[in-house]
Amino acid sequence: MDRNQFNAFCNTFPAVTHVVQWGNSDVWKIGGKVFAIGSRSKTGEPAFIFKTSEQNYYFLCEADGYIPAPYLASRGMKWIQQTDTRGELDEALTYYVSESFRIVSAGLSKRLQRELGLME
């Protein structure tokens, strides 16, 4: 997945906002809270960052193609960076970004979830 495909996928979620910040990173938010980041690794390759559950965090820390997200994970947050973007992990990336959206939106206040149209 390239950054254009990543951004197109993130834009499919309801009520999201997109900003470019933190050194030209594509930052995707729901209710003002970040759920996904498209960036570049230290080697210049695409890198995609997302929030995970605690269980997925520890699983992905040991999996090929993933590392704890620089800066975020070092502060105790459960964020992962996918470093292998050659396409083999695209399906997994869509799952993990979807889960990140779910985790972050579930953490919003009920009032904000209603305002954003996230509650049925």
Which domains does the chain carry? 3-107 (3.90.1150.30)
pLDDT, residue 120, reads 64
Asked whether 82 and 93 are in contact (CB, 8 A), the reply is yes
Rounded to two decimals, the pTM is 0.92
> In tens digits, what is the pLDDT along the chain, a chain of 120 residues?
889 999 999 999 999 999 999 889 999 999 999 999 999 877 888 899 999 999 999 999 999 999 999 877 667 789 999 988 777 888 999 999 999 999 999 999 999 999 999 986
| CA 119 from centroid of its chain's CA atoms | 21
- What span, in angstroms and rounded, lies between the C-alpha atoms of 84 and 60? 12
pLDDT, residue 6, reads 95
- The DSSP line for 59-84 is HHHTSTTEEEPTTTGGGT--EEEE--
> What region, left, alpha or beta, does residue 11 occupy, with left being phi > 0 and alpha being psi -120 to 50 degrees?
alpha
